[in-house]
Amino acid sequence: MPELPEVETVRRGLAPAMEGHAIVLAKINRPDLRWPLPERMAERLQGARVLALRRRSKYLLADLSTGETLLVHLGMSGRMLLSGSPLAAFHHPHPAPQKHDHVVLHMDAGARITFNDARRFGAMDLMPTETAGQHWLLCDLGPEPFSNDFHEDYLLARLKGRASPIKSALLDQRLLAGLGNIYVSEVLHRAGIDPRRAAGRISATRIASLVPIIRQVLAEAIEAGGSSLRDHRQPDGELGYFQHTFRAYDRAGAPCPTPGCTGTITRITQSGRSSFYCPTCQR
């Protein structure tokens, strides 16, 4: 599932073609994705101008001139593909319609944004902009990793006495928004922390060190266009490249890249998910 860097990459790719532009035609090709689509969705979108395109955790949020916000979740295989835009750094002609093109937005400057989702685990919804933060998918989310609300004192307070493994704690979207399996594995490897360690039993110094490491890993991933392992594509159809610099994730059996470490990256299962770490230098 796309994590914060992949969704932020999509947001940045779509923003030039969407922000400040009106949706002149909305084609809704099915009544549902993971859940039913909003009632009268095409009617509510057509004619609306996109005032801002933002991201909250793993969700895209398009604030509209109608006072509503369009929420988009990419799910497992969803893609937001951009074509025909003279405003972006590329100009792809509109491709022929595909089987899994479920929602297509035609913008006033000629761009077309297509939501394609083969597995239909994605989601879309419309809600009042002024109460968007109260939406059931957003209301319990923790702070954004790059926000001022995420800092050493916050993380120490939230992890104090917590018996769950640090890997599970950092995956909890109520504690911190946007991190997923890939980037937690990368963060913990750089921090030298065993993913199985009880979060509440890690020293304050090591917990504090996670804050800048989380930000650095995410910033590098965004700069690389995210990680393309299976489905992720940037809006222009290009792959992300951060997977080529993984230190731990999906590298089971490979030598640990930590300077001076002679260990080997190992894969274990935690709560049904794969964890990759070095038993030698992560303690």
Q: What does the alpha-carbon distance between residue 74 and residue 132 come to, in Å, rounded to a whole number?
A: 18
Spot the catalytic one: 3, 8, 68, 186.
3
Spot the catalytic one: 11, 56, 58, 167.
58
Considering only CA atoms, which of 98, 84, 106 is closest in space to residue 27?
Answer: 106
85 close to 237: Cβ distance less than 8 angstroms: no
Question: Between the CA of residue 205 and those of 108, 150, 153, what are the distances in Å?
Answer: 52, 16, 11
- The answer to whether 2 is a known catalytic residue is yes
Q: What does the alpha-carbon distance between residue 165 and residue 117 come to, in Å, rounded to a whole number?
A: 33
- The answer to whether 95 is a known catalytic residue is no
* Neighbour-count burial for 124-144, b at 16+ CB within 10 Å, e otherwise: bbbbebeebeebebbeebbbb
Spot the catalytic one: 144, 197, 273, 279.
273
Q: Are strands 273-277 and 123-128 parallel, antiparallel or unpaired?
A: unpaired
* End-to-end Cα, the chain, rounded Å: 28
Considering only CA atoms, which of 240, 241, 233 is closest in space to residue 83?
Answer: 233
Q: What does the alpha-carbon distance between residue 74 and residue 199 come to, in Å, rounded to a whole number?
A: 30
- Retrieve residue 121's tokens: 């685990």
| Catalytically annotated residues | 2-3, 58, 273
